[in-house]
Structure 1
Amino acid sequence: MSELTIKPTFSLAPQNLDDALRFADFLAASDIVPKDFQKKPANILVAVQWGMELGLQPMQAMQSIAVINGRPSLWGDAVIALVRSSPLCEYVYETDDGETASCRVKRVGEEEQTRTFSMTDAQQAGLKGKQGPWAQYPKRMRQMRARSFALRDVFPDVLRGMPMAEEVQDIPTERELNQSLPRKAEEPKVLPAYPDSKLDENADKWRAMIAANRTSPEHLLTNLVSKYTVTPEQEERIRALAPIEGEATNANQTDKGSGGGDS
């Protein structure tokens, strides 16, 4: 009988840190790796490490792990594959009646668990009709939600606490939350009161400037109310700095008469 020789399967899995760093640089330069990993060797290294902890080969890890909103997560097909391949899983059954998706799972030595997700749940979560997959593939998205709840609840050790990408996609980012929150109305700025002592101090100077047509009560008030709170009494005093038209005319005539007498 001839001897059967079994050749070892070729693997790209790095054996040490140096191998992992070179491996990450090599893949980051490739155009066929997922977009999240192109020219990002550090992301590749993290994904490969996550994959090792989950039992995934490096290339499987890069196809199964997505970085969404800065958080690593597993695509739904990878989640069910990991659970079904685990000796802790007896079965996973998924159904959908057109309104509600159900996922029945059984862990070895435990009772069956069922999780559901309906369109009513989707509406309460603000997902029903949401632009994107929820509008285009509602049945698939219901299935992913029910699957995520069931498998993450019953097999957290198998999944190492990794969330499911389809679920993380629906979590609003901090920026989206800030945009959706109503803006707090700005409180009106409280201006300090204009001191009466200042008005007493400036009254004669302002009266002379008004008489010389270098300013006006309205101009003075416009400047003041931009910096201070002016009382009605103060406003009245400032307006009274302008000479009464008759008095101004008489004063001018007196000045002219006096000038003629001197001459």
Structure 2
Amino acid sequence: MNAVTTTESTALAQRGMGFDLSPQNFEQAMTFSKYLAESEMVPKQYRGRPGDCLIAMQWGHEIGLKPLQALQSIAPVNGKPNLYGDAGKAMLLAAGCEIEEDDTAIIRATGTARCKITRPGRRPVERTFSIEDAKTAQLWGKAGPWTTSPYRQMAWRAFWFAARDAAADLLRGMGGKEEADDLVRSKDMGPADEVKPEPTPYPAEQFAANLPKWREVIQGARKTADDLIAFTESRNPNTPMTEEQKATLRGIKPVKNAAATDVTPKNEAAAPTADPGPAITFAQVSDKLHAAKDVDSLNLAADLVSQVPDTQQQAELNALYEQRLGELERQ
């Protein structure tokens, strides 16, 4: 019994750790991957994904990592495997590399992270990453680790720059997850298409209701038909006038004021006339703006603003117009 136990112990000792679940063929690898995908002891990105577990184990085998080490050390980012920084350092140290890097306190004081990697028999490789570099790369102040631990992130950047330049063969071309996460950007879908409502003709009932007011404005030569059309459509861009409605307005002609015609005989001096005063007052326009029940009535009242002689009063009336327009559009 003792001889058997001794023999088994010797065999286990010769095999190293003695208990190794590393698969020896594809079937074993698939079975192992299924067990791993159902386990709570693997990172979330591998749970329920036996295929990903299998690929990660293969990647680990190629860079010298055991299956469980591979799952803990390799993370996919945009479909590409990347190493966590701790695993990258462990691989370089296992290969005899010396890693010299600044503490975060020094990085904070100098504003620059530095990392120097020396491989046996080779010249040292030193790389840096500064706050200015982070700002140029639009990383400084970025939400996430660059906000909570910016100097640590700078240290990782300097390390991965040096590691890739000094030991690309040891890393088998893998990059660092800390870097890969920074490169992830939301896909640019371009500017959103603006969906404009389908225009509808200016309501016939509303046109008929406003026509008497518009006729008065056109006949009084205060506005032309085209002025009214342009003004109305600018205020109601989704309800343009029909061609028939436009033709109706254009058919209205200004009426000449016979009283304004000079009928004084040439040989007689014209009798002095009293100053007629302003055609319309600030108070009159203000009352019309306040009394307007809809946007069209408000626009007609706004046409009178230019007839008020005082420019300061015109500015006040324009401000009142904008206020009333907002009130009516919210109704």
**Superposition deviation, residue 120 in structure 1:** 1.7
Offset from partner CA, 1:182-202 (integer Å, 9 cap, x none): x3897x9xxxxxxxxxxxxxx
Q: CA deviation at 1:81?
A: 0.6
Correspondences of 1:98-177 after superposition (within 5 Å): 98=107, 99-175=111-187
CA contact (8 A) 1:69 1:173 kept: no
d(CA) in 2 for partners of 1:78 and 1:95?
Answer: 19
Does 1:57 pair with 2:66?
yes
1:164-243 alignment to 2 at 5 Å? Answer: 164-175=176-187, 178=188, 183=191
TM-score normalized with structure 1 length:
0.66
Higher RCO (C-alpha under 8 Å, 6+ residues apart):
1
Q: Secondary structure at the match of 1:166?
A: helix
- Using the alignment, how far apart are the partners of 1:66 and 1:23 within structure 2? 19
Kindly name which structure, 1 or 2, has the bigger radius of gyration based on alpha carbons: 2
SS of structure 1 residue aligned to 2:141: coil
Cα offset for 1:241? Answer: 7.6
Aligned-residue offset at 1:240: 6.0
Alignment partner of 1:103: what SS? strand
SS at match of 1:11: coil
Residue 85, structure 1, aligned to residue 94, structure 2: yes
Q: Is the 8 A contact 2:125 2:165 kept in 1?
A: no
Query: Which residue of 2 is the match for residue 254 of structure 1?
Result: none
Letter in 1 for 2:57: V
Equivalent position of 1:199 in the other structure: none
The DSSP-based 3-state class of the residue aligned with 1:18 is: helix
Question: Any idea what SS the aligned residue of 2:127 has?
Answer: strand
After superposition, the CA RMSD in angstroms is 3.9
Q: Distance in 2 between matches of 1:80 and 1:58?
A: 18
Shift of 1:100: 1.5
Instruction: State the alpha-carbon separation in 2 of the partners of residues 85 and 159 from structure 1.
Output: 12
Aligned to 2:10: 5
The residue type equivalent to 2:47 in the other structure is Q
Q: Hey, what's the Cα distance between the residues in 2 that align with 1:133 and 1:13?
A: 35
Letter aligned with residue 23 of structure 1: F
Partner residue of 2:30?
A: 21
**2:51 — aligned with what?**
42
- Structure 1 moving runs of 4+ over 4 Å: 234-242
Structure 1 unaligned spans of 5+:
189-212, 243-263
Letter of the 1:107 counterpart: R
Q: Give the alignment's TM-score, normalised by structure 2.
A: 0.54
Aligned length: 210
For 1:195, the equivalent position in structure 2 comes to: none
Matched residue of 2:113: which SS? strand
Give the Cα–Cα distance (whole angstroms) in 2 for the partners of residues 58 and 155 of structure 1: 23
